[in-house]
Structure 1
């Protein structure tokens, strides 16, 4: 735990036990005894540990004290301790024999000591029963070879928030039961394969927020049972082929915040069928190859990269996919069949790209979708039927696009009106054109206002029509070939951009000439 969360945890602990705090004759002065087996000492004036601790105590917690040194005999009268926690103290030195008598210890934390720069070899030599060791947010610059050799039952090892720049080879050789390793927020520059030799049952490995710049296929040698691998916040710019090949049980791979520009489809080898979550957010990816070997993948995070296009077969065989995040890239178009056969998808995030159009059948297989974010793109309209396949309650975001509110928007306009409860921030979905509708919310516009301006190429033959102006009256005289109804709309835009519209309908009269007189306002 970090400084803040650790302090909060113990404050909560204090509150929870406030009503149950017991007064024991053996409770040390300035400390609190919640029960006969649990002591908390939190006194900023305390410079040494109390010596009159009961032999019944199992959990001994010291936070925010002025204790600076742990000597060989400091804890010799408490061999029964199972949990010992030093959090946010002023420790400067821990003698190599300070814990020699604590052979029953199962959990040990020495965290949040800004002046503690190293531990001596042999410090944990008698802790064969230790399962959890937390050494976070100190000032450790290195870890000595053999430091953890005696901890054969250790399951959790945390060294985050130090300034460790190098790890010795075979550091974890004897940690066969290790499940969680956290080396985040250090200054590691390289990690060699020998470092992780030994812990074959490792489940979670965190090496985030360091300065690791490269990984090799040997890096993960002998930790084939790894379930989670966290490499976020480093400087990894390249992934060699088959680097994750041995990690056949891997379910979560987090590479967020590195410097990757691309990687081969051979990175995962052919044994990556158990991977369920792949996080590549915040890299520099410009291209991707097929992810077809990730047949169990459910969550794919590719946001905040530099992708401008995607291969058509990117998700081939990735039929378990449920959530895909492609937001905050530079995508301009998507292959029409890119989401084909992905029937389990629940969320597709495409916001903050440069999409100018999408294919009408892009989401035809996503009947179970619950989230579709298309906001903040360059879309002017959506094709007929695009949103019709969705059968479940869903959330759609469409704001932040330059919607063109003309006759081509009839489908989207109708859909938004019918499903406005499903459109988030629908009041921020504005028309960008034509000018007389600019900045108007789409939901505030009548369908009759969605008209298309006739371009020169589309202008019908009006040679049979004539215009005459008489005072304040415009006379339109058109000859028609057959009896047919005729509707004429005239719109007047005033200086304040207010628009008044006049609609005149002519019922068939079966004469070969129809004259309509429109008064000019």
Structure 2
């Protein structure tokens, strides 16, 4: 059901005696359909249904009420289609009476959509409506589709065999269906498809043969299907593809060969597919790519190579793909990348290199991808990022660097990312961050720093990020002492307790385990070696007997001992033009604060003035410019 959680789903399943129909409008069919007469979805015979956590790889569910996950993506998609087609068949129960021409083992809806789902059905029934446009056989005992069994029809446009027991498609099985545009035979123990099976289908534009048992494609299979635009073969056991198999498919837009056991792509295999827009080779056993494997695919917009065994890529691997917008290379074994590997991809917007073995990256790697919006380098072995790596990615919105081995980030490493909104840095070895790390990121809204080794953050780290509303801080050893004042002031200025409450103190012992949002400023002390927050170029070490006084905002602090004050830290507001005066330049800034510490209270008055070069100056003070 739309919006149902797994808990809700299990709640339905725990009360099978409760009768009732749950209805949902089936998009694309215009039907009001029951999900089940008992509040449950019947599992497939070929793959069991189970509620479990989603895998790391992301995929799109086909309907809102697919609450389950099958063994792999292809099986899940089949299960979703099974639900849709089941709803389609049961929807006919809402219609008063069945059409006279509907076989007793099927249900018909307005005589145009026929749904047959009878576990004992071994033959295609006779008497199917002659004006049907869509015909579904779901979870039957059909073992074969024989020539002539479907009769002749000039109206049938869609034919689906889903999760049956089909092991054979006879030659000419679909002859007599000149208007058929979509054919699906999926989720069956079908070992092979004869080249004569597709004869007599001049209008066929979409063919789906997913989650069967195909080990190969016979030469000439698509000779009679030259108008195909969409070919889907995921979840089979295809080991190799014969040369020239795709030669007739010059109009093909989509080719899905994912979740097979392909070990190589023969040279020139894809050259005939000049109209291809989407190519999915995910989850195979590809260990290498031939030179110029995709060079003829000048219109390709998406290329999925994730989940293979690629250890390296030829320098011209993506040459000729000037229109490519999405490139999925995650979950391979890439240890390095040629510096110009992406140079010919000026329109690339999504690039995933997650889950490889990259330890270093060339500084010019992304120079040729100025339109990149989303970049993932997560789950690699990166220790350092070269300066200027992201300099040409001014429109990048999301950058994922989580699950690496970085222990240091240069201050200007993110220079050039003017459009960045989300930065993921979790699960690294970062123990400190430079004060200017996030400068030049005016649109930044979220920074994820969870699971690092951070004990404190430098003052002013977020001052240039006015849009920042979420900072992931959990699972760091935060030292809740005087050095945490800046971070605490920033956190308490934002009303997102659910986001930030998971961050807690690791020290001192009195505050251990306490949420940062609950620590009062008055308890941020540095007993034994108190001082002010370390600034750039200052090591933060203090002499014994010092006390640090600060204001509640953390913008002014002063370190003093029993006789004098030695160190003033002052963060001034943006300067305003001083008024012109006849004598001298006059005062520039003046302020007064009352500072507190566990030693007592201190009042500080500051006057900042500007002097001309020829004015006398006090001894020991540098001459003003």
TM-score clears 0.5? yes
> Closer, same or farther in 2 for the Cα pair 1:145/1:221, shift >3 Å?
farther
Q: Does 1:282 align with 2:355?
A: yes
Three-state SS of the structure 2 residue aligned to 1:250 is: coil
Specify which of 462, 466, 481 is matched with residue 406 of structure 1.
481
Residues 452-511 of structure 1 deviation map (CA, whole Å, 9 limit, x = unaligned): 24459732589xxxxxxxxxxxxxxx98589xxxx9977xxxxxxxxxxxx66699xxxx
Match status 1:215 vs 2:215: no
What is the aligned partner in structure 2 of residue 468 from structure 1? none
Residue 237 of structure 2 corresponds to 163
The DSSP-based 3-state class of the residue aligned with 2:268 is: helix
TM-score, normalisation: structure 1: 0.86
8 Å contact from structure 1 (residues 353, 377) kept in 2: yes
Distance change (3 Å), C-alpha of 1:187 and 1:266? same
Corresponding residue SS for 2:395: coil
Instruction: Tell me how far apart the structure 2 counterparts of residues 365 and 202 of structure 1 sit (CA, whole Å).
Output: 40
Contact 2:528–2:545 under 8 Å retained in 1: no
- The CA distance in 2 between the partners of 1:217 and 1:489, in whole Å, is 68
**Which entry has the higher C-alpha Rg, 1 or 2?**
1
In 2, Cα distance between the equivalents of 1:26 and 1:15? 18
> Of the candidates 433, 454, 463, which is equivalent to residue 358 of structure 1?
433
2:139 to 64, 67, 80: 64
Q: Any idea what SS the aligned residue of 1:193 has?
A: coil
Q: What is the TM-score with the length of structure 2 in the denominator?
A: 0.72
> Match of 1:346?
421
Residue aligning to 2:374: 299
Cα distance change on mapping 1:461 and 1:98 into 2, 3 Å: closer
Q: CA deviation at 1:423?
A: 5.8
> 2:192 & 2:210 partners in 1: Cα distance?
12
Q: Please give the alpha-carbon distance, in whole angstroms, between the structure 2 residues aligned to 1:203 and 1:480.
A: 77
The correspondence for 1:324, drawn from 399, 402, 413, is 399
- Aligned pairs (5 A) from 1:139-154: 139-154=213-228
Cα distance in structure 1, aligned partners of 2:94 and 2:398: 46
State the SS of the aligned residue for 2:87. Answer: helix
List per-residue Cα deviations over 1:24-55 (Å, max 9, x = no partner).
11111210111222111110111101121232
Q: Distance in 1 between the 2:371 and 2:211 partners?
A: 37
Segments of 4+ in structure 1 off by > 6 A?
Answer: 487-490
Counterpart of 1:300 in 2: which secondary structure?
strand
CA RMSD of aligned residues (A): 2.5
The 5 Å alignment of 1:88-99 reads 88-99=163-174
8 Å contact kept, 1:230–1:255: yes
Match of 2:351, SS state, is strand
Cα distance, 1:361 vs structure 2: 1.4
Change in 2 beyond 3 A, CA 1:505/1:127? closer
CA distance in 2, matches of 1:21, 1:266: 66
Distance 2:331 2:510 in 1: 45
Query: Any conservation in 2 of the 1:399–1:425 contact (CA below 8 Å)?
Result: no
Q: Which has the higher contact order (CA 8 A, sep 6+)?
A: 1
Distance change (3 Å), C-alpha of 1:37 and 1:255? same
Map residues 229-248 of structure 1 onto 2, 5 A cutoff.
229-248=303-322
Alignment partner of 1:384 out of 452, 459, 477: 459
Q: Does the aligned pair in 2 maintain the 1:83–1:105 contact within 8 Å? A: yes
- Aligned residues of 2:172 and 2:200 also touching (Cα < 8 A): no
Q: CA deviation at 1:135?
A: 0.1
Aligned with 1:427 (options 483, 501, 507): 501
Aligned residue pairs, count: 474
Q: Once the 2 structures are TM-superposed, how far is the Cα of residue 225 of structure 1 from its aligned partner? A: 0.8
Within the alignment, does 1:458 sit opposite 2:458 as a pair?
Answer: no
Gap runs ≥5 in structure 1? 463-477, 491-502, 508-521
**CA contact 1:397–1:424 (8 Å) conserved in 2:** no
